[in-house]
Chains A and B, each alone.
Chain A
Amino acid sequence: MNQIGLRKRSNWKKLLYQNQPFPDNYVDESFLSQLKRNETVRPYKYWELVNDFSLILFHLTNLTLVILIFVSIYRFDWDSTYIVTSSSTISLIGYVLWELRLNSTNSKVLKIKSFTLVIFMFLLLSPVLKSLTRSTSSDSIWSISVILSIFNLMFHDYAINVHTPFYKPILSTNLSLSNALVLASRLNSTWQVFCFILFAIQSNTLLPLFDFSLRRYSPKLHYLLFTCLTLVVEYLMVHLTNLNAFLLWSSIQIFILLILPGYFLFLQRYKNELSGPWDIAKPIIRS
């Protein structure tokens, strides 16, 4: 059976029920002729990718905002009441806009009710939260916060396809809330804890939902929101941190927005997707 290899013989058939005059390890010319490569791959365009990657930057900016606000309260003793009042005002404006223009299906009463309930729950719980990590050192808290943020960035549902009917970034919502709770437990007064958590919920939970609807409604407004958010974060960066941090932040922005899409495009040339008759067929069921 070893002597015959890739010799050309035309009458071999890809059949099992016939006893063919070929050895069992015969390799015909038609071997792997049904193999298809990179069937479902579609070419990407650089600027489309930049657009998609900007969503990652948006989420990162959003996470950074909460951390910067924490720094401002914790280290610089900014007035937490002032912060939460202004953010709540913006949220209210956003909510009204959302109800008027973006979404009109769900019941308003239920939403307001549940939101009020959450606020009061946190108000009640804030003394507990304040003493939650009393016995833990601050360094551990910072590292936990960083880990949570990285996981958040990894597992967030970026919803690149705007037309998905259900947008529920459950995991990242939970992670950002945990991050807020962990950070809040370092603050000095109960009121600060409450204000910070409220701000974090508005920024990390409500803003992505709002932005999702906004992207569906008008991409231009999304970019406006994105620019405003970036400006706020830049402002806080300049005021709260030193030049090095600011430079690092700017280079991260450029890296995510411009370099990563290029790298992604570069990696596409190594794409090797194999498909053939062995793949599980996708049944077409009409009813």
Chain B
Amino acid sequence: MVTDFFYPQPGGVEFHVYHLSQKLIDLGHSVIIITHDYGNRSGIRNLTNGLKVYYVPFFTFYRSSTFPTVFSAFPVLRTIFIREQIDIVHGHGSLSSLGHEAILHGRTMGMKTVFTDHSLFGFADIGSILGNKVLKFALSDVGHIICVSHTCKENTVLRGSLNPLNVSVIPNAVISKDFTPRETKLPIDDNITIVVISRLFPNKGADLLTAIIPRICAAVPKVKFLIAGDGPKFLDLEQMREKHFLQERVELMGGVKHEEVRNIMIKGHIYLHPSLTEAFGTVIVEAVSCGLFVVTTKVGGIPEVLPNHMMSFAEPDEDSLVSVTLNTINKFQNGLINTSTFHKEVASMYSWEDIALRTENVYNSLDLNKLNQPLFKRFQKYYCCGLIAGKLFVLIVVVDIFISIFLDYWYPKEDIDLVTKWPKNPKSKKRLRSLK
């Protein structure tokens, strides 16, 4: 597993990588994670079950992704790959240049590669155009690609000009025992509490949130809001609260740790999700697992995630969101919504064991004979990426091969010590296999 995004930073990719790794270890695989350093957290750390994490010191430049240097990580990655006797390189996140680099060098070293895409990108703005070109380059020669939702798959196939058969859809999951509903049911009277947990960025719909809260508060006199999360739009929310004298009814908690999310969620009846783009939306699944009803905007992959009796959809429009929310509050007060079965239903829908088995399936489907085609074929794949870009990409690959030869000469494989593997736990493997 190689990604720029990992613990101590919270987020969807981070948890996906961690939980998937844990379950793969349970399946009897040896998993290591390579990421860049976070503050003073650099070097090698061992997490639960002998999950080894390499925090490699790289320069980070934008939202904790490393500077795209193309070649600079090759020596250290090669050493780690050989030391740990790696067979499969699995990169995560399309903004993670470390992940892309690992896939490129892994291919140069003749290894199996998999890439997981966690996010959606448009085609219009300059950032996306550059990002898509990089993605096209990184994925030209990858073994298999995993996307977290069907919408994400369509998006990735278009962005990287890929064969859709080479792309699998494997969603995120939640640990359902971490997101249990409260033991005693919240009394449903006039006091309905609406929970929002989101980083307050414009693309998470913070502006919509700021616009609808005063309207909902005015329409239903006893509704309360509980908002957790921090971000550039926090100030706007505070100003809104002061302007409309809602200090008593809108609680702003600021940033919270992921462990606390459950305890915040169970204080509410409804989870409001005003995001403008979302590949999967793990937080919705977490909320439903905690026994909340979800009101969400109908964007990205959200409609695929949960059945209709667990959430209601609004357009990303202030009026629509207000009316749907009010409608839901009304239903709640009339006792038309029963959330008591949600937790069990979600537990049967999403589990990391299932995800790990499906990912293992992808790993098993990779065939080195098919992947390691003659060099000329590999060049052809890159050359077709674009008029100028294609030539540039071929040049990069050629340089990469030269670096590989150089490294093989100066730091021969035989001189690199192999690590002792963490002892396997035979019980867990059996248990998971029986699930299959």
Contacts and interface: CB of A to CB of B under 8 A. Distances in A.
Does A associate with B in a complex? yes
Contact of A5 (B165, B280, B358): B165
Interface string B294-316: 00010111001111000000011
A224 interface: no
Contact of B120 (A2, A278, A285): A278
Nearest to B317: A284
Nearest to B158: A274
A286 interface: yes
A118 B20 CA distance: 68
B155 A276 contact: yes
A16 B152 contact: no
Interface stretch (B59-67, B168-176, B264-272, B416-424): B168-176
A14 B158 contact: no
Interface residues of A, number: 31
Most chain B CB within a 10 A radius of its CB, from A1, A14, A16? A16
A35 interface: yes
Given A24-B361, A35-B154, A280-B276, A17 B165 contact: no
A229 interface: no
A5 to B, nearest CB: 6
B349 to A, nearest CB: 4
Given A274-B123, A279-B277, A31 B154 contact: yes
A17 B305 contact: yes
A278 B154 contact: yes
A24 B355 CA distance: 11
Interface residues of B, number: 51
Nearest to B288: A17
A277 B300 contact: yes
B392 to A, nearest CB: 22
Interface stretch (B72-80, B134-142, B178-186, B202-210): B202-210
B306 A273 contact: no
B150 A14 contact: yes
A114 interface: no
Contacts of B54: none
A277 B151 contact: yes
A1 B276 CA distance: 34
B297 to A, nearest CB: 7
Contacts of A277: 151, 154, 299-301
A275 B123 contact: yes
B21 interface: no
B122 interface: yes
A279 B150 CA distance: 14
Contacts of B315: 284
A25 B365 CA distance: 11
Contacts of B203: 280
A284 B155 CA distance: 24
B166 interface: yes
B319 interface: yes
B173 to A, nearest CB: 10
B164 A1 contact: no
B350 interface: yes
A278 B306 contact: no
Contacts of B279: 278
Interface string B39-67: 00000000000000000000000000000
Contact of B165 (A14, A25, A34): A25
A284 B168 contact: no
Interface string A1-42: 110010000000011111000011101000110110000000
B121 interface: yes
B345 to A, nearest CB: 9
B149 interface: yes
A285 to B, nearest CB: 5
A283 B316 contact: yes
A272 B146 CA distance: 26
Given A278-B122, A285-B318, A286-B318, A31 B307 contact: no
Contacts of B168: 1, 23-25
B221 to A, nearest CB: 20
Contact of A1 (B154, B306, B361): B361
B324 interface: no
Contacts of B167: 25
A279 B122 contact: yes
Contacts of A278: 120-122, 151-152, 154-155, 277, 279, 300
Contacts of B215: 287
A17 B300 CA distance: 16
A243 B315 CA distance: 65
24 contacts: A15-B304, A16-B280, A17-B305, A17-B349, A24-B169, A24-B170, A24-B358, A27-B164, A27-B165, A31-B164, A275-B122, A276-B151, A277-B299, A277-B300, A278-B151, A279-B120, A281-B299, A282-B316, A283-B208, A283-B276, A283-B316, A283-B317, A285-B207, A286-B318
What 4 A-B pairs come out closest when comparing CB atoms?
A24-B168, A278-B120, A281-B316, A278-B155
Given A278-B152, A278-B154, 4 more contacts: A31-B164, A279-B277, A283-B208, A287-B215
Interface of A: 1-2, 5, 14-18, 23-25, 27, 31-32, 34-35, 273-287
Interface of B: 120-124, 146, 149-152, 154-155, 157-158, 164-171, 203, 205, 207-208, 211, 215, 276-277, 279-280, 297, 299-301, 304-307, 315-319, 349-350, 358, 361-362, 365
